[in-house]
Structure 1
Amino acid sequence: MKNIALRSVAVLSVLAFAGFESSAVAQTVDGPKVNWRLGAWGKSRAVTRGFETVKKYVEEKTGGKFSITIGFESFGGPKELLDLVKIHSLQMSMFCASYHPDKTPANTALDLPFLPLASAATELKVHEAFYQHPYIKKELAEWNAFAFMPTILPQYEFVGRGEPPTTIEGFKGLRVRALGGMGDAMRKLGSIPTSVPATEVYTALERGTVDAVSFPATYAHASYRTYEIGEWYTANLAPGTVGCPTLMALDAYEKLPPQYKKLLAEAKPLGYKALMTAYKEADEINVPLFKKAGLKFITYSDKELARFRKIAAEPVWEEWVKTNKAKGAPAQELLDLILDTAKAAKPANG
């Protein structure tokens, strides 16, 4: 998991260099009583450290006057939360476009396989630029939402049962949990992709509904306990990741007093730092845990990975552009924004 550790160091360096980190202000910020509800799925884990840090920061600085109640599964399931933001039932929420691509199709651009997101710092810059694009802001605004902060998810890897796919041909015929563009990439290999919600993955793998499941490595596989019933683990397939930002409700945000908006802006870099730290700490625990559980680690050769990318990278990108252009989205412009931002970020990241 050396690459993930390097990603963590890189993004922390960028944030520190940019002056994002700030020490806690001892003084309490005064203001009206405001309570927000934040919809989430699963349980508290590495990916939730970002908004949990934001919650802690604003509550401490306001003496509890601005509070955020996190509902893990208690406010709704993964595919319901965006609707709850739209009807003003939630003020913040986890969100993955790949769970309901028809609702926000242009947002699925970040789910495309093999995007050149070489480091967490690059990924952060790409995602922040993407969510500022007018069309993406417009698409989310139709749901009374905007992307407050990306979650900078690590690359996905598979845990599966049965014959280990030691070559990419080994995925042919396998039923795999692979979201968005990663699902399209796996279909190119002859797999049968499905978008099983994270909370249903353990049961699906246990009952044989799916043969393999992909999650951000390694924290999500540990959180959803796939290693307990899995038999093998892809250590370096890295087919991509997905865009799953924390959303805020537009109307709720606009009603906040200026001092509360300022606190939220101050909390974002602290949330990013907490995310990267949590991912790194999870890897240090989970890699030995997976090995102890008996998972067979599969490492693909550079030649195998190059074959996979040739089959499933640009062809899937081209299909995505064609499909979403037909829906009225500036699809090529959005893809170019991702690629150009990633390319420009590389020199700064070393």
Structure 2
Amino acid sequence: MKKFLGKACLTAMALTFTGEAVAADWNVSLWGKRRAFTEHVEKLAELVEQKTKGEFKLNISYGGLSKNKENLDGISIGAFEMAQFCAGYHRDKNPTITVAELPFLGVSSLVEERKISQKLYKHPAVIKDLARWNATLLMPSPMPQYNIAGIGDAPKSLDDFKGLSVRATGGIGAAMKAVGAVPTSMSASEVRQALDGGVIKAVAFAQHAHMAFGTVEKATWWTTNLNPGTVNCPVVVNTDALADLKPAHRDALLGSVDEALDHYIDNYNNKTMKKWGPTLKERGIQEVTFGDAALTGLKAKVATPAAQSWIKQNTEKGLPAQELYDFFTGMIGK
């Protein structure tokens, strides 16, 4: 595709000799289906259209524009103007933001996840990292700590994870590996088929994804408090597309981010999480809770080595890894 199709795709022009305002349509690449994970993008589209009286529209596509692991590539060539992706899907493409995916960081809430991610996205090294893809980070997709849903016999202790094939990405995968599990990285949309086919026996997801991608329809058990970490899934825009917006449209977009995130968090906390407990009970899914001593031992075994490894690997790539780690972790709990 020619970049921006001569910019007609980027800002669909609607000019007349009577001086009508310039209209713009942006294409937005998501995946799966509308769910808690995409509510901020849906709200953003609603707000932008309202504020611009229909002049600027975000056309949201769930899988019709790109594969989820290729959304950042699509942004880089201008195939679409906005997209969502998860850092753990392609760690080498966005190493700076993978600091947020390290295991057992201790982020306590969606509000905290939002706050520190937004600050991370403004760090000069992060901006430079994403600029390689002609991408500007717009907003995070805050998620709670992941936990594991699986089939078969429920684990009675952490030792029972040995040999278990688990869909787990990023730092969560490192935590699973530390207890002897076999972590497998795959996109969310591939999980149900892999579970049905026996490729994996368990899945690490946030609650909304367990419901949206059907793992609760197969699961027999769920860990309530393993809390190994979460993934960082930003929404990005093509930098050139953002620059080419007329000021009023750019202001409408950027000025709607906080309200969209407020809506996202309210929806997650007051709708999605209220469905989770009843869903487990309705399906007879056994809840597995681990003792404090076991979890403390796991954190000690995983957290520090994972952080040290991340710092070493990314320092060797020429990134200010220690600075990024200190910057991110220094905001947790404050």
Output the CA distance in 1 between the equivalents of 2:272 and 2:284. Answer: 18
Matches of 2:71 and 2:63, distance apart in 1: 10
Can you list the C-alpha shifts for 1:144-192, whole angstroms capped at 9, x where unaligned? Answer: 1011001111111111012212211111111111111111121111111
3-state SS of the aligned residue for 1:101? coil
1:109 maps to amino acid: V
TM-score (norm 1): 0.87
> Paired residue for 1:88, among 74, 78, 88?
78
Q: Is the 8 A contact 1:186 1:312 kept in 2?
A: no
Deviation at 1:31, TM superposition (A): 4.1
What is the aligned-residue identity percentage? 38
Using the size of structure 2 for normalisation, the TM-score is 0.91
Partner of 1:271: 260
Deviations 1:79-122 (A, max 9, x none): 11111101101110001111111212222111101112122232
Q: Does 1:52 align with 2:39?
A: no
Instruction: Identify the residue that residue 172 of structure 1 maps to in structure 2.
Output: 162
Q: Which amino acid aligns with 1:239?
A: P
Task: Please say if residues 84 and 235 of structure 2, whose CA atoms lie closer than 8 Å, have aligned partners that are also in contact.
Answer: yes
1:304-343 alignment to 2 at 5 Å?
304-343=294-333
Structure 1 residues 90-105: aligned runs within 5 Å: 90-105=80-95
| Alignment partners' CA distance in 1, 2:22 and 2:62 | 26
Q: Secondary structure at the match of 2:328?
A: helix
3-state DSSP of counterpart to 1:342? coil
Decide which moves more: 161-170 or 53-62.
161-170
1:125 touches 1:342 (CA, 8 Å); kept in 2?
A: no
The reply to whether residue 117 of structure 1 matches residue 107 of structure 2 is yes
Q: In structure 2, what is the Cα distance between the partners aligned to 1:175 and 1:76?
A: 28
Q: Which residue of 1 aligns with 2:9?
A: none
1:1-350 alignment, distance < 5 Å: 31-216=21-206, 218-280=207-269, 281-343=271-333, 345=334
Contact 1:232–1:295 (8 Å) recurs in 2: yes
Deviations 1:12-63 (A, max 9, x none): xxxxxxxxxxxxxxxxxx9411000110011000010101101000111222
**Stretches of structure 1 lacking an aligned partner (at least 5 in a row):** 1-29, 346-350
Instruction: Name the CA distance, whole Å, in 2 between partners of 1:275 and 1:111.
Output: 20
Amino acid of the structure 1 residue aligned with 2:63 = E
CA contact (8 A) 1:154 1:241 kept: yes
- Measured after TM superposition, the shift of residue 209 of structure 1 is 0.3
Asked if 2 retains the 8 angstrom alpha-carbon contact of 1:113 and 1:181, the reply is yes
Distance between the aligned counterparts of 1:120 and 1:105, measured in 2?
A: 22
Deviates more, 1:119-128 or 1:56-65: 119-128
CA distance in 2, matches of 1:121, 1:207: 37
The answer to whether the Cα contact below 8 Å between 1:86 and 1:143 also exists between their aligned partners in 2 is yes
